Amino acid sequence: MFDSHLATAHGELRAERAATARRLIALGHYTGVRMAELGNTHQDWVVDDWELVAVEVATELGIGRQRASTEMAHGRTLIERLPRLAQVFLAGDLEYGHFTAIAARTALIVDPDLLGIVDERVAAQAPGWAARSRDRVAELVDWLVLEVDPEAIRVAKQRRAERRIDVTPAGNGLADVIGTADAADAAVFDKRLDELARTVCPNDPRTHAERRADALRALSEGATRLACMCGSAECPAATAEAPAGSIVIHVLAEQATVEGDSETPGLLPGYGAIPAEQVRQMAARARCRPVPRPPALSTEPGYRPSARLADFVRARDLTCRWYGCNAPAEVSDIDHTVPWPAGVTHPSNTKLYCRTHHLVKTFFPGWADVQGPDGSLTLISPTGRVYQSTPDGALFFPQLAARTGVLARAQAPPPTPARGLAMPTRARPRAHERAYRIARERALNRARAEANPPPF
């Protein structure tokens, strides 16, 4: 009797695996068809054809854009790179986590014949790996790859986590900084790293992530800027001291909580609930700015919202309002639902869109949105599919969903000619970037092998 439950659970597990494979393959086929339709006409744009398809997939499935992009890539991998393994996956004999490990560990193989050999061998062995850990599967695939195409081996980076702030050598002149901290303290730390990372000129060759890492030294030394690495003697950031900035952390809380009359927690966006006592401690050493209530907000004369209106919109929405997107308010733009000046600057006509979704709405015809006076949003795709959402802030503080007034529906202006001229561009097309990274990693593997010949 009890065995039947286990048998049912096992059967459902296999069905779940197969369903996952079908979903990924369906996304892979959709991606291939849509990319062919779009014709690779926007490869230099920040929002290129792949990004646009990822927006379509994410919106339909109600998932994040990065996850959509990852699953699209997995689908293409099953179709184009690992078709034999795809059959194992479809049969329910492969865990999703095992597949992602296999896909990652074979990503550097560029020769179709060698990839076919690895695909055949992995597909034959994968059903027997069901009880193995993901790390063990990665090691087994590495073993096969090392035999077939040594330059395609992925070098693992080991990291050690501790429940404290810990600095450990990572080799190659680098170190790992690992730790667990109070959410509010971590938020301040995160903000300060971003602030320091932005004190260099636009020609600094480092990525933002690299500058954040370099900011650790500046932070520990009490410096107010990073030394710019653009190499220009004329660079003002090379000599001028950047002004000391103030760290801004947004915490939403009831006035009664701040005053000690309520134990309702506060909200630190991105981190979650903050106990009332901690809210009061933070408020005691910070400048508090009340979020205006809807009756105090009205139509504003210009394009750019006032600080009061911006505070309200960011508190009400908390994240990008595009269906399925969770980009935080601090990296989102305030978008006019009906574009200005046809649409007024008013809480009933403004909401948050992250930069990518703002660009999609602006530069790709067919997407439309309608905003309600309570902040609700209806998004309509070019094919007529409808997606509805309500603001996240109102889930925690219902008063933020108070109606802000019904506006006369204005007609959106027609698209501006030559809009593409204003679209931000990529340093190199996505396909070129991927090919470059693969070639670079293979070259490093080749150099490592030449420097350490057998017997090592």
Could you report the per-residue pLDDT of 121-150, keeping only the tens digit for each?
A: 999 999 999 999 999 999 999 999 999 999
Average pLDDT on 198-208 reads 88
Residues 201 and 327 in one domain: no
Q: CA–CA separation, 193 vs 243, rounded Å?
A: 15
- Identify the residue with better confidence: 25 or 301: 25
Q: For residue 271, name the pLDDT band (cuts at 50, 70, 90).
A: confident
Do the domain assignments include residue 453?
A: no
Residues 175 and 314 in one domain: no
Average pLDDT on 66-83 reads 97
The answer to whether residue 159 scores a pLDDT higher than 50 is no
Question: What tens digit of pLDDT does each residue of 169-182 get?
Answer: 675 556 788 888 87
Do the domain assignments include residue 317?
A: yes
Give the closest residue to 376 by CA, choosing from 326, 337, 339: 337
Residues 104 and 133 in one domain: yes
Domain residues for the domain of 384 are: 304-420
CA-to-CA separations, 316 to 320, 322, 351, 355, in angstroms, rounded: 11, 14, 9, 18
Residues 6 and 148 in one domain: yes
Do the domain assignments include residue 248?
A: no
Q: CA–CA separation, 78 vs 290, rounded Å?
A: 52
The whole-angstrom distance between residue 204's C-alpha and the CA centroid of its chain comes to: 23
Given a contact cutoff of 8 angstroms between Cβ atoms, the answer to whether 30 and 411 are in contact is no
| Predicted local distance difference test score (pLDDT) of residue 419 | 56
Residues 273 and 367 in one domain: no
Do the domain assignments include residue 316?
A: yes
Residues 309 and 346 in one domain: yes
Residues 96 and 123 in one domain: yes
Regarding pTM above 0.85, the answer is: no
Give the closest residue to 124 by CA, choosing from 157, 92, 88, 99: 88
| Range with lowest mean pLDDT among 42-46, 94-98, 373-377 | 42-46
269 prior amide bond cis, ω within 30: no
Q: Per residue in 67-90, is it b (16+ CB within 10 Å) or e — as a string? A: ebbbbbbbbbbbbebbebbbebbb
Do the domain assignments include residue 201?
A: yes
| Final residue belonging to a domain, choices 129, 152, 175 | 152
Residues 84 and 128 in one domain: yes
Give the closest residue to 348 by CA, choosing from 327, 366, 370, 331: 370
Residues 6+ apart with CB under 8 A from 305: 313, 334, 345, 350
Average pLDDT on 381-395 reads 93
Do the domain assignments include residue 296?
A: no
Q: CA–CA separation, 234 vs 137, rounded Å?
A: 53
| Predicted local distance difference test score (pLDDT) of residue 391 | 95
455 prior amide bond cis, ω within 30: yes
Residues 227 and 136 in one domain: no
Residues 87 and 182 in one domain: no
| Predicted local distance difference test score (pLDDT) of residue 202 | 85
Q: For residue 411, name the pLDDT band (cuts at 50, 70, 90).
A: low
Number of domains in the chain: 4
Do the domain assignments include residue 64?
A: yes
| Predicted local distance difference test score (pLDDT) of residue 295 | 74
| Predicted local distance difference test score (pLDDT) of residue 114 | 97
Q: CA–CA separation, 76 vs 88, rounded Å?
A: 16
> Concatenated DSSP letters for 68-93?
HHHHHHHHHIIIII-HHHHHHHHTT-
Residues 131 and 171 in one domain: no
Do the domain assignments include residue 34?
A: yes
| Predicted local distance difference test score (pLDDT) of residue 418 | 52
Residues 191 and 91 in one domain: no
| Predicted local distance difference test score (pLDDT) of residue 284 | 81
